Amino acid sequence: MIKFWRNRTKVTPEQEKRVWNHIDSLYSKLEEGNATEDELKQIDGISKIIMDVIGKSSKVKKEKRLQFFHSIKYAGVGVAASVLLVMGISYSVSEKLADSTDAMACNVIQCRNDSVLHLADGTVVYLAGGSNLSIANNFGKKDRTVALTGEAFFEVAKDKKKSFIVKTKEINAIVHGTSFNVVAYGGTVESQVAVRTGCVEVAKGEQSFGKFHCGDRVVYDKAANRVSHDTVNPDNIGAWTTGGFVLEDATVEELKIRVKNRFHRELVIEKDAIPADARINYCSYRLEQSGVNNVMKNICAIYGTRYEISDNRIVVSR
């Protein structure tokens, strides 16, 4: 297995076939809920091997893409094992960590579905579908730096000597060991950091907005160049990682993004059926309560509207 990932040029077609068949078998059992403890450990091991290869490889050409796995079905949101090899995840090598930073070598993890990543330092990242996570090539040497476009929940491994830094286009989060959620979708006005446990410093460039604790949420409005701070239910922070669908004071823009990433459909709101300046609050904690019909039915009930679902669109109207 290690030989397969570290130096594929020395792997025969028969060996490669056996590796893929074995991985197929492991993930099929995981999806069916029949994986043994030993098989779950193997899945964890696979993800760690690949992250190690990504972290140490410097020979991959710029923007060369490797589709990690072409036929594995994702086992569900919040799967217990740390799963890197899920359908829709790819990685590439880039020379820029984030739009707001100087150019530097990094690896870019991209996913279509909600996915779980296990970083080399032991940090667990729950990456929302449609998001990108860039990992600096020197991750773990001086500090632990990643860059995010989209949404992710971080359970950061403790390390008092090495800060864990999440860079977005507008704001950064700096921690040593804690759990928190970051929302920073490209093209949106607002970026958010919400703290579930521990302490997180939020900054923009050299300007620090302060240190925040359990239940604190920091919202940066790019259009107004203004930061605000409120408190939210800590249980809601990162609830999406276990199948929940939670919106707290969300904009219509955020609602559209979340619907697109979760249900893979474009949300169309006709004739101001939901006011453009609306702030939406909705909460369902369980996966079985967070299907597209439940979510849309309850949100439409708030505004007295109706919805229709097609293959690739959800239309809300009066």
CATH number for the domain including 295? 3.55.50.30
Residues 6 or more apart whose Cβ sits within 8 Å of residue 248: 217, 232, 233, 236, 281, 283
Please tell me whether residues 198 and 63 are part of one structural domain. yes
C-alpha gyration radius of the chain: 20
Q: How many domains does the chain have?
A: 2
Q: Closest Cα to residue 217, out of 207, 229, 204, 233?
A: 229
Please tell me whether residues 291 and 314 are part of one structural domain. yes
> Considering the entire predicted model, what is its pTM?
0.70
Please tell me whether residues 250 and 219 are part of one structural domain. no
Residue 266 lies in a domain: yes
Residue 265 lies in a domain: yes
- Domain end, chosen from 242, 273, 299, is at 242
Q: What is the mean pLDDT, run by run of 10 residues, along the chain of 318 residues?
A: 56 77 72 68 66 47 34 29 42 50 65 85 91 88 91 95 95 95 91 97 95 97 94 93 90 93 94 93 86 95 95 94
Please tell me whether residues 229 and 194 are part of one structural domain. yes
| Residue 280 domain boundaries | 243-318
Run of H or E residues at 29: helix 13-32
CATH number for the domain including 231? 2.60.120.1440
Please tell me whether residues 137 and 268 are part of one structural domain. no
Please tell me whether residues 158 and 256 are part of one structural domain. no
Confidence (pLDDT) at 103: 46
- Domain end, chosen from 208, 242, 276, is at 242
Confidence (pLDDT) at 80: 29
Residue 24 lies in a domain: no
| 8 Å CB contact between 300 and 282 | no
